[in-house]
Amino acid sequence: MKKNKKIVIIMIIIIILEITIYQNRLLKKEIEVQASIAKQEKSEIQNQNEIKEEHPEIPGKTTDWELILINKENPIPENYKIELSNIENAHKVDNRIKTAIEQILADARKQGLQPYICSSYRTRNTQKTLYNKKVAQYRKQGYTQENAQKEASYWVAIPGTSEHEIGLALDIVSKKYQILDEKQESTQVQKWLIEHCTEYGFILRYPTLKKDITMINYEPWHYRYVGIENAKFMKEHDMCLEEYIEYLKKYE
Alpha-carbon distance of 206 to 221, in angstroms, equals 9
Phi, psi of 226 (to 5 degrees): -135, 0
Active-site residue 219, yes or no? yes
Q: Which of 102, 171, 185, 242 touches Zn ion by CB under 5 A?
A: 171
Q: Which stretch binds Zn ion (CB under 5 A): 19-27, 46-54, 190-198, 217-225?
A: 217-225
Alpha-carbon distance of 140 to 152, in angstroms, equals 12
Q: Which of 122, 134, 210, 222 touches Zn ion by CB under 5 A?
A: 222
Furthest-apart CA atoms within the chain: distance in Å: 120
User: Residues 6 or more apart from 174 whose CB is under 8 A from it?
Assistant: 113, 114, 115, 116, 184, 187, 188, 189, 190
Q: Is 151 in the site for Zn ion (CB under 5 A)?
A: no
The beta strand positions in 104-241, using DSSP E, are 115-119, 169-174, 202-204, 222-225
In the set 18, 30, 219, 243, the catalytic residue is: 219
Q: Which stretch binds Zn ion (CB under 5 A): 85-93, 206-214, 218-226, 239-247?
A: 218-226
CB closer to Zn ion out of 210 and 222: 222
CB closer to Zn ion out of 67 and 248: 67
- x-or-dash string of contact with Zn ion, 177-216, rule CB under 5 A: ----------------------------------------
Closest approach, Cβ 168 to Zn ion, in A, equals 11
Q: Is 154 in the site for Zn ion (CB under 5 A)?
A: no
Alpha-carbon distance of 145 to 31, in angstroms, equals 68
The answer to whether the beta carbons of residues 225 and 197 sit under 8 Å apart is no
Please report, as ranges, the residues that interact with Zn ion according to CB under 5 A.
171, 222
